[in-house]
Amino acid sequence: MENTYDFGLVGLGVMGRNFILNVADNGFTAMGNDLDTKKVQALIDEGGNVDKVNATVEVSAFAKALSSPRKIMLLVPAGKVVDIVIESLLPHLDKGDIIIDGGNSFFTDTDRREAYLAEKGIHFFGAGVSGGAKGARKGPSIMPGGSKPGYAAVQPIFEAVSAKYNGEPCVAYLGPKSAGNYVKMVHNGIEYGLMQLTSEMYDVLKKAGKLSNQELHETYKSWNEGRLQSFLVEITSEIFVEKDTLTDGDLVDQILDKAKQKGTGKWTSQNAMDLGIPVPSIDIAVSMREISALKDERTVADSLYDRPEVATMAKEKLTDLTEKALYFSYIITYAQGLHQLADASKEYGYDLDIAVIAKIWRAGCIIRAKLLADITNAFTEDSELPNLLLSPSFIPKIQDTVDAARELVAFGAVNGIPLPGLSNSLTYFDAYTSTRLPLNVIQAQRDYFGSHTYERLDREGIFHTEWEK
């Protein structure tokens, strides 16, 4: 089997196995590698034809079986494991070979690895893969960046296996260095925001509208047939009618309300702060997962404080408000994430094309949504658009929905229903669209206690006042 396989993949977990089978389905031969003999055998068994897809636990045999230049993708946990795998491969590689990190590596790690491997003549790039296990098998959205010659060699494979939107592959070279991993990181931050918002609408519909799980299913299903069409709304509609195999009820009612996280949302939030870009809808989504982890404390606190009795609202009115509010806050969350990408592009020299990014998110990935076609058009019309909220095509979308967001936030506040994602989205919108904010007082305070100076509205220059006479 020496020098016969087009593509190699290290890490045969669920994502890796599905991705390599996808490669084989699209006419390329593929070789897998994993330390776990059971995973190796599972791939061989599922592949069904070792001439098309094969696997081994031996790194040397794996490398020898790949055609030159070797194209090796890693789908292993982010962190030290990536470095360990790279070191295990190096003795068996030749100059010009290609290593692709398909995991959720932190972008600075990708920059470090690319520089290290470039010295050894090895092409390296990070490629974010979104779509979960099903996406990996049937067509994910892929976000590569880094070595351009390295990507060119694997481009036919990636374009073949990626999801398609109107026949267009949902993959594109995004930029140098860690551009691919960075875009995937922000993609995941947006994902956190959209998931939080989608769950908040469920909460208010259940508490104030008294909707049954069947009615929630029908409501979300109808939304998915309209302007809110998206992967997350679609799967949420299905979640509500999944029966529990351990009780007589619905599964959603038995799932513990503690959400875990792998860190990419937090990375998005932290890096946005480093860049000075506001992403409050993403920030609060991260914080809510952290609050959810405090289940025992929340239970005690709930017994200590009075909570308003939730007023009921007519189901028809409430479903209309929540649909509009969710659409509004989805737009705001995308706007924040894309603003971060635009600023990071300048800061890190990625030269990102936001329209291209929106295009490859239209199918295959977790945040795919009908809205992304409109976002693609907005940034195609104005590639220098600083914020989606400044797009002429999005102004009527916001104006049509912002009042519903206001009404729902007010209703939640009065009735003790937490709507942090929606509240933060609305506050961001109100602040971003305000000519005058009260930050003049903060500047005066800073100058008062720390002589930090201030600027004036009526003339140029830097000023300081001796406030204490």
Clarify whether 234 is annotated catalytic.
no
The closest of 95, 132, 117 to 19, measured between CA atoms, is: 132
Based on its alpha-carbon atoms, the radius of gyration of the chain, rounded to whole angstroms, reads: 25
Residue 172 near residue 359, CB atoms below 8 Å: yes
Q: Which residues of 261-276 are buried (b: 16+ CB within 10 A; e: fewer)?
A: eeebbbbbbebbeebe
Write down the H helix ranges in 139-230: 148-161, 179-208, 213-224
Q: Name the catalytic one among 191, 200, 234, 323.
A: 191
Query: How far out from the chain centre does Cα 178 lie?
Result: 16
Distance CA 188, CA 433 (A): 26
Q: Name the catalytic one among 39, 71, 184, 206.
A: 184
Tokens of 463: 């000023």
Beta bridge partners of 369: 230
The closest of 379, 313, 370 to 341, measured between CA atoms, is: 379
Distance CA 15, CA 75 (A): 7
Strand residues in 11-60 grouped as ranges (E): 30-33, 53-56
Distance CA 99, CA 147 (A): 10
Clarify whether 384 is annotated catalytic.
no
Side-by-side strand order, sheet with 98-101 = 53-56, 30-33, 7-10, 71-74, 98-101, 123-130, 141-146
Residue 180 near residue 146, CB atoms below 8 Å: yes
Q: Which residue is listed with tokens 């936001």?
A: 354
Q: Which residue is listed with tokens 């990070």?
A: 126
Q: Tell me, what DSSP letter sits at residue 13?
A: S
Write down the H helix ranges in 209-314: 213-224, 231-239, 264-275, 280-292, 295-304
The closest of 112, 129, 150, 154 to 19, measured between CA atoms, is: 129
3-state class of 243 per DSSP?
Answer: strand
Q: Can you say whether residue 210 is alpha, beta or left, with left for phi > 0 and alpha for psi between -120 and 50 degrees?
A: left
Catalytically active residues, by annotation: 184, 191
